[in-house]
Every structure is written in structure tokens, then in C-alpha cells.
Amino acid sequence: MAVWEEEVIPNIPIIVLPHLQKLNVTFTGPGDSFPFFQPLSLPALKSLTITIRGDCTWSHEDFMEFALRSPLDLERLSFKWVPIHPHELLQILTHTQLLIELGIVSESLYVDTTLFDALSYREMDDQHFLPKLKALRIFESWGDDVVEDSIASMVESRWWTDDAPRKVSRLKRAHLDDHNSRLRKRLERCCREGLTLTPV
């Protein structure tokens, strides 16, 4: 989809699509992506994939307005090359707590330990972040041992083999950057016990 290049965006009335359950949209720059979301309300949406190609402007504020207007009861969410900073990503995920699958594909250092610390399961916590999450897809050229340790700790905290009740779903699939051999080595035990760990 081509994006908007005009400085003035026309005032479009709200468009409600009450039955749309899946949306896969790609923005190609240069231009702005946010006018696409400004008039939309998608209350039945379950699966959303957003891809940005080229020099395209992303507006977190406009996307959050769309998310709150819909509201989003998403089960699957994927961002591909979308320049979202960690605190913005957490804000979005706070409003999508029914997620079963989460995907983040980026070649920039927008993902840090913030996300993985929030996703880590701690029994004593009163609330748990994305409690239904079962599949995680991360491709990120982080190149940082601290981030790798944070990812591994998060995966380990959401993996178990016993039948004791937990307050979150067990992580079943993790698709991770296959260049991070150190990370994959640390998660070998989980894989032997049944975790599906595949390269992106």
C-alpha cells in the first residue's frame, strides 16, 4: 500500500468494520502510514500484521487511538520493520492481553530487555503480562549478551513439564534469530523437554 505524502490529511469519518477478523497491511514509503488507521474501528479483529518497507513514518499515537477505539481483542499480532520503541511496544501490548502469538521482526535495536522482563513469569506477581501467550517470533539483530540472557530467562520462566497449575499458558513455540548460537545453546534443555525452537 502506498502511503500519504500530503501534509494535510482530510478529515475522514469513522469507518466501522464489525466483521473483519484478520488484517495484513504493508506500507511502502516515503510517506506516512498513520492516516490509514485514523478512521478505522475494527472491533472483531483477531489477527493483525503490520509491515513497513522503505522510508515510511510511523505514528504510535495514532495507532494507540485506533487500538483504544476498536478496542482490540487480538489473538495474533505481528510487527515487521515497524520502528516502535520498547515503551511504545509495552503500551500496545498492555491493551492486547489476549494475545496467543506475538511476532517482532526488525533489523534495528528497538527491542531491549524491557519487553522480555515484562513477559517473564513470576509466581508472586499479582498480574501477569500476556498470560495466554503460546508462540513468540523474534528476529532482532541485537548482538547483546544482556538481551540474549533476558530472552532466555523469559523463555525458561514460561516453560515447564509438570502439571502444576500456573497463572499463564506454557510457551509452546519460539522462533528466534538463528544467528544467536549462545541463546540457542542455553535453551537446549527446554528443547529436549519438548519446546519447539526454530530459526526465523
Instruction: List pLDDT tens digits, range 94-112.
Output: 999 999 999 988 765 456 7
Residue-range definition of the domain harbouring residue 40: 15-158+168-199
For residue 121, is pLDDT > 90? yes
Mean pLDDT rounded to a whole number for the chain: 84
Residue 163: strand, helix, or coil: coil
Q: Would residue 135 count as lying in a domain?
A: yes
Q: Would residue 163 count as lying in a domain?
A: no
pTM greater than 0.85 (yes/no): yes
Q: Would residue 134 count as lying in a domain?
A: yes
Q: Would residue 103 count as lying in a domain?
A: yes
- 8 A C-beta contact, residue 121 and residue 157: yes
Q: At 94, which CATH number? A: 3.80.10.10
Closest C-alpha among 187, 162, 157 to residue 175: 187
Q: Would residue 7 count as lying in a domain?
A: no
Tell me the torsion sign for CA atoms 99, 103, 106, 112.
Answer: positive
Instruction: List pLDDT tens digits, range 54-99.
Output: 778 888 898 999 999 998 899 999 999 888 888 899 999 999 999 9
Domain count, the chain: 1
Give counts: helices (H), strands (E), the chain.
6, 11
The 3-state DSSP composition of the chain as helix, strand, coil percent (nearest 5) reads 25, 25, 50
Q: Would residue 1 count as lying in a domain?
A: no
Q: Would residue 4 count as lying in a domain?
A: no
Q: Which pLDDT does position 179 carry in this prediction?
A: 53
For residue 185, is pLDDT > 90? no
Reported as a pLDDT band with limits 50, 70 and 90, residue 176 is confident
Burial string for 40-65 (b: 16+ CB within 10 Å, else e) reads bbbeebbebebbbeeebebebebbee
